[in-house]
Structure 1
């Protein structure tokens, strides 16, 4: 079909202004709507404006009047409820699902965003992920349950820090009175700490107490940097020593045991591996001096009271160490030791979902161990000789 050419359109310049002026000067057309009855039974035919919200929804819907493009109820009107034919909504949902399926099939697999935080270990369980009981003097395994299940030691790994420091003290490379200047890097670590300042200086002994009693992450970093020059260098020493001890399932990535940050990996271990570490640490008698301390004041000029997190020191007779650990994904863990009648036992509870459960399980395992340990039989007393015997 051929169309006749009409008159030329006005030029673009000035055209919007003329249109707007004409629209502004034109009288507004208003629609008069009589106020309906408030009950829909007396108003079976709602006004056109009230049917703007009606549709095949398959359920009870509300009709709302629109005035000037704004969603608000006109004065004198009430919300109406209209029931429509059932089943219409199901057809609409089916069509929507079919369209979504078609788009997904043609678009291909969605691109996954790179994860900034590494995958955390399986969540802690109740009562634990793994547990083991060993003889603290011989390393003999007495009881075990999931001893090789991987878990995350959290602050328990500070026992490796303590072992490396004590070994260097015995080798003469360090002394308890060696001064350690606080590096700036140690101030930037969160979690449990004693709030070190880079202008301060402490002895190795003071930092060891902060490490074991308060579980201070800044003290762990200060000792690590003093010994190895950097935290990364100290982590290498930790992993080398772990391999020497046969801790084949253990990999350390930090000097403090905090949860991994962006781009970092978590520390990994098992209950069996940590029992091996505890047995080795107990060969150094000075270790229990730090792990058995319940309370100590750090920085006497500005007193900071440190309190041990190991509840078994007060609740279990004979307990004198060693260390607890916790963060949310890792759960509660404890490596505990106790001495009774010359017998020393070590219990490791890894990845418990509850603090009380963790302590109770450690106490139960130690108690079972002491009952199971064979004690030398008592010497039998000679029978009374019969009367008249010479």
Structure 2
């Protein structure tokens, strides 16, 4: 199978297994692991198409870390080697000078032979990758980079909720975030049937949980919501058809659809979503699933901006904090790539 590279994987006995051997280094406030928190030192390399990278983009926005951590954008498609900086003039990242993200990995590990994945934190002075551990990376943005959070930044990983949050996020990750991939890359009918059942059991659990509360952990947005949102945003455009996760569309699940729109219309969420890039990535890169590489025109995404009614559940989206301001000019999704946007890149 062709690797998605937003988290590489392989198929064994017909079942998709995600390769989770990421570079475990962390950037910490005390610098104990050799990578100290330092404004301007690191570059977050992402692709708007990738759900795992999308999380880091959202968390960076919500916390106001744009000035402390620069961001490099790869294009929506890649070959078997790695993501590329084909959106930049001359096809090179303007800060790192790399044409491929692979160069940052090889600069540090000349024999690196695992997936070249986004998001990745790169050390600007040495142009070497620091970590691609997306699960830990966003938690560290919340807990280690506090000295650079904006005024009014929300607490996305509240200490009092962490035990329950960790359980919820683990279930969301294994059953939903990764569950859609298990459906899409299943190599046998049995593996697909089992993956499908697991995915919809979890989505039914979430539908019930969100029927009576505005966010996954209650009244305010946390990292748990960020992690679920990036899968929901891709569900109808990609996972429902391309990955055969087709019992229902997201738009047919009242609580989850209302919740997804609520988040989409919240600053920091919907303004990071590029629907044409998302579709181009999955339908072009996964040539074993979609050999023609034809990108579907639909679905119409204008419905993401319709009223959701979730305010009736109460709550304060940012807790004691405030919404982030608009994204920097050079990080804005093109207007025609958002809800109701026309055409492909």
Structure-2-length-normalised TM-score = 0.27
Higher helix share: 2
Q: Which has the higher contact order (CA 8 A, sep 6+)?
A: 2
Higher strand share: 1
Structure-1-length-normalised TM-score = 0.25
